Amino acid sequence: MTPTATASDSEPRTDPDPLVVGGREFRSRLLVGTGKYASNEEMVAAIRASGAECVTVSVRRVDLDRTRDEAILHHLDPDEYFLLPNTAGCYTADEAVRYARLGRATGFTDFVKLEVIGDQETLLPDPQATIEAARVLADEGFKVMAYTNDDLVTALRLEDAGCAAVMPLASPIGSGLGVVNPHFIRQIKRRLAVPVIVDAGVGTASDACYAMEQGVDGVLLNSAIAGADDPVRMARAMRLAVEAGRAAWRAGRMPVRGVAVPSSPDHGMLD
Amino acid sequence: MSQSIRIQLNGTEREITPAVSVRELIVSLDLEPELIVVERNRSILRREQYADVTVEEGDVIELVHFVGGG
């Protein structure tokens, strides 16, 4: 009899293939953000549906007027989810280092999603400042997961700086344009020893699947789920897409041919 | 002695009673010290220090926490 278990529940047990970053194992290769949701309830439901373990959070001033309950720890259980503080919104290395230290001081983690923006309009990263901040933070013992562009040389420098993972963008943050340069993503993956996680620009499930099919170790996204009409449904689609893309990459795709090759036997045809 | 001191709290000038600890300040704002990180004059305080460090005139204090983000 053929086993009839689904990929999502049978594969992890029979064929373990976890994402490992900085010595820590994650139960999902999908990492998700917690921003831009219409409500905290929707955010929690979507994150649950995504199957992600690693969720990014931002460090911000407490709203002393308390117009709404922004404290993520009131909504997400840090025993259930791995909270990854980011340095989003930082434009200099010093600023990013400051935010990273504040994130670590919460006492939950020494991981940081390093992000130093170089241009306000495109939100493209500042490679030089990112490398500089990565070096400082890695020396301080941080496990740095660095958001970067899809440039191989920058990725290599970030690895040299001591990053635990390098996270090239698929396309600009929040754009939903998908993987604009799969060749560069494959090149980065081929040359780096540390995990490569595609971060930013994924718009829909096929983008996430396609990113994983390039052989990368994971995908990090936020807007694609939070900005969908039905975030919970899209979160589930992303979970399946990342699993499918990973499985397809491990399976090794068939070669692309310029001509048709029949799938049915050409013998045994009737006269 | 003055009845109040002036501090810069999360970017806003505030007058508070003198001789309060950082912990007392947090609690007086109805916040949970375990969920807050405090930066005082650009140095991060360890949570164990909250009760021992007194807020001084002119202190620049930032109270931060985790919020949703990508």
Q: Does residue B56 sit within a domain?
A: yes
Residue A250 host element (H or E): helix A231-251
How far does the CA of residue A183 sit from the closest CA of chain B (Å)? 25
* Beta-strand relationship, B5-9 and A19-21: unpaired
Q: Does residue B35 sit within a domain?
A: yes
Which of the 8 DSSP states describes residue B35? Answer: G
Q: Catalytic residue positions of A?
A: 113
- The whole domain housing B58 covers 5-64
Q: Does residue A9 sit within a domain?
A: no
Tens digit of pLDDT per residue, chain B (70 long)? 568 999 999 999 999 999 999 999 999 999 999 999 999 999 999 999 999 999 999 999 999 999 999 8
Q: Does residue A268 sit within a domain?
A: no
The string of pLDDT tens digits covering residues B46-62 is 999 999 999 999 999 99
What is the overall mean pLDDT for chain A?
A: 93
- Assign residue A232 a region (left: φ > 0; alpha: ψ between -120 and 50; beta: otherwise): alpha
CATH number at residue A144: 3.20.20.70
- What residue ranges of chain A have pLDDT lower than 70? 1-15, 67
Q: A185-210: b or e for each residue (b if 16 or more CB lie within 10 Å)?
A: bebbbeebebbbbbbbbbbbbbbbbb
How far does the CA of residue B10 sit from the closest CA of chain A (Å)? 6
Torsion of CA A132, A134, A140, A143, to 10 degrees: 180
Torsion of CA A41, A239, A192, A59, to 10 degrees: 0
Would you give the distance in Å from CA B20 to the centre of its chain?
Answer: 10
pLDDT at A166: 98
How far does the CA of residue B20 sit from the closest CA of chain A (Å)? 18
Q: Does residue B69 sit within a domain?
A: no
- The whole domain housing A100 covers 25-60+71-249
**Token code pair at residue B52:** 């021992």
CATH number at residue B59: 3.10.20.30
Chain B residues within 8 angstroms (CB to CB) of chain A: 9-12, 29-31, 35-37, 39, 44, 46-47, 62-70
Q: Does residue A3 sit within a domain?
A: no
Phi, psi of A69, rounded to the nearest 5 degrees: -85, 95
Nearest CA in chain A to B30: A64
pLDDT at A66: 77
Contact between A60 and A86 under an 8 Å Cβ cutoff? The reply is: no
Please count the structural domains in chain A. 1
Q: What contacts A237, CB < 8 A, 6 or more positions away?
A: A204, A205
Q: Does residue B13 sit within a domain?
A: yes
Please count the structural domains in chain B. 1
Note the ipTM here: 0.93
Give the C-alpha separation, B13 to A150, whole Å. Answer: 43
**Cβ contact, residue pair B63, A85, below 8 Å:** no
pLDDT at A9: 53
List chain B residues with CB under 8 Å of A83.
66
Q: Does residue A261 sit within a domain?
A: no
